[in-house]
Structure 1
Amino acid sequence: MEIMSPQNARVKEWAALQEKKHRDRQGKYIVEGIHLVQEALLAEADVEVLAYDLDKGMPAELAGLLQAVSGMETVAVSAAVIAKCSSTGTPQPVFAIVRKAKNAAEEALLGPGALVMVLDGVQDPGNVGTIIRSADAAGADGVVLGRGCADLYNPKTIRSTMGSMFHLPVVEADLAELLPKAREHGALLVSTSLQGEDSCYSHDFRGSQWLLIGSEGRGISPETAAQVDKSIIIPMRGRAESLNAAMAATILLFEAMRQRGMHSK
């Protein structure tokens, strides 16, 4: 099948997925670029349509994966269609329309010894995506996005995950409900604070731990802070007041990985 006109009704629906209200209404999101589409296919995400630039042809990296995917439509489109559906100034030669999965099971995060990164009001999509990527790299068991966080399916968030959103559970949840449940299952709730009791390098990250990171401007909310079991500090030698949320989360995750054994979870 080929679609050449950016005014085509289907193209308009695809392009609308750049906005959250349309993603919510359609229950779908858009993934752009060869690498991210490849990750979606390898993870067996529910890809509805794979659209590729007719002039450039189907990317070789994806061609070999198509046989294993059932129920997916492939559509050749014009450069104008690609441009209309793109969120970047330099459009990628391929994009996919993916149906949203049901929210990842919270149970996967409540097991003994689970390491979970929890975001409270982190509004920057780049930071949210980077933290998901770091959690994946450090072998965390999952990421929880509390209310007020950037949308997981925002194209900027998706790009920043570099495919990691397909590798581990990412749960969107109300922290007021989920954090007490985590504690009931034996998790220690840990946040960062300039008034922290321990350095992140003397804190024991072994066992079930949920690490809470808030927004750069406000930190975690008072409601979330009231549920925290322990605050720790990331020591700094220089004159910077604080760290970017993604950097702080990455430091905690990799110290946890080091303590828990780099080759085991």
Structure 2
Amino acid sequence: MQILSPQNGRVKEWAGLLEKKHRDKQGKFLIEGIHLVQEALEARADIECVCYDAEGGIPAELAQAASAGLDVEWIAVSAAVIAKCSDTKTPQPVFAVVRKADGGAEPLLGQAGGLVVVLDGVQDPGNVGTIIRTADAVGADGVIVGAGCADIYGPKVLRATMGSIFHLPVVHGKLAELLPQAKRRGIRLAGTSLQGAVNCFAYDFTGPVWLLFGSEGSGLSPEVRELMDDGLIIPMRGRAESLNVAMAASVLLYEALRQRHFSNNNNSRPMSN
């Protein structure tokens, strides 16, 4: 199938997905580039269609998936269509339309010994995407995104995840409801704090714990901070005043990984770039 005119009705719908209001209305989102599309295909995400440059053809990296008989529509489109549906200055040769997953946060409450990341008002798309990617890297059970955060289906967040959004549950949740439920199930709620805090390298991450991270400017909201069980401090020997939220999340998540999987010289898959 071919669609060459940027004025085509489907193209207008796809281009609309660059805006949150249309993503919410349609229940879909766009991913751009060979890597993200490849990750979505391999993860068996709910892909409506894959659109590729008609002149260049299906990228070699995706050729096997295109012939695998997946229930995905492959559409050749013009460069003008790609440009209309792109969020970047230099459009990629392929994009895909993906239906949003319907999963909620409830399954994460039942994870025995679970490690879950909770975002409370983290507004920068790069930070949200990087935290999702790091959570995936350490094998966390999922990420819960509360109110006030950057849209996880926005183009900048998706690029920053590098495909990790397809590897673990990333769900929206009402923190005022979920956090008390987690506490009742014996899950510890821990977050960075300067008051009454314990050194993060002395904290026990081996039990069920949800790590709370707040906005770049003001940290956790008062409502979430009130529910937090354990305040953690990341020690710093240099003169930097603080770490940004994505870096802080990386430090805590990797300390959790170390305690859970490397405390007895356990072997694990080496890290790749």
TM interval, shorter chain, is over 0.9
In the alignment, structure 1 residue 59 sits paired with structure 2 residue 69: no
Distance 2:173 2:68 in 1: 33
Q: Which residue of 2 is the match for residue 172 of structure 1? A: 172
- TM-score, normalising length from structure 2? 0.94
The 3-state SS of whatever aligns with 1:242 is coil
RMSD: 1.3
The 3-state SS of whatever aligns with 1:117 is strand
**CA-to-aligned-CA distance 1:91-148 (integer Å, 9 cap, x gap):** 1000000111102452134322000111100011111010000000011111110111
Query: Gaps spanning 5+ residues in structure 1: where?
Result: none
Q: Which residue of 1 is the match for residue 139 of structure 2? A: 139
Q: Which residue of 1 is the match for residue 163 of structure 2? A: 163
Query: Gaps spanning 5+ residues in structure 2: where?
Result: 269-273
Q: Which residue of 1 is the match for residue 115 of structure 2? A: 115
Distance 1:36 1:109 in 2: 29
The aligned length equals 264
CA contact (8 A) 1:109 1:141 kept: no
The 3-state SS of whatever aligns with 2:67 is helix
Q: Which residue of 1 is the match for residue 271 of structure 2? A: none
* Counterpart AA for 1:13: E
**CA-to-aligned-CA distance 1:235-255 (integer Å, 9 cap, x gap):** 112222211110000000000
In the alignment, structure 1 residue 242 sits paired with structure 2 residue 242: yes
Distance 1:236 1:172 in 2: 32
Distance 1:226 1:214 in 2: 13
Distance 2:53 2:157 in 1: 24
CA contact (8 A) 1:187 1:210 kept: yes
* Counterpart AA for 1:102: D
CA contact (8 A) 2:105 2:172 kept: no
Q: Which residue of 2 is the match for residue 80 of structure 1? A: 80
Distance apart, 1:196 and its partner CA: 4.4
Q: Which residue of 2 is the match for residue 41 of structure 1? A: 41
CA contact (8 A) 1:141 1:169 kept: yes
In the alignment, structure 1 residue 14 sits paired with structure 2 residue 32: no
The 3-state SS of whatever aligns with 1:50 is strand
User: How many percent identity over aligned positions?
Assistant: 65
The 3-state SS of whatever aligns with 1:260 is helix
- TM-score, normalising length from structure 1? 0.96
The 3-state SS of whatever aligns with 2:123 is coil
Distance 1:109 1:51 in 2: 38
Q: Which residue of 2 is the match for residue 29 of structure 1? A: 29
CA contact (8 A) 2:113 2:207 kept: yes
Distance apart, 1:6 and its partner CA: 1.2
In the alignment, structure 1 residue 4 sits paired with structure 2 residue 4: yes
Distance 1:31 1:106 in 2: 27
Distance 1:112 1:71 in 2: 34
Q: Which residue of 2 is the match for residue 254 of structure 1? A: 254
The 3-state SS of whatever aligns with 2:29 is strand
Matches for 1:182-197 after TM superposition, within 5 Å: 182-197=182-197
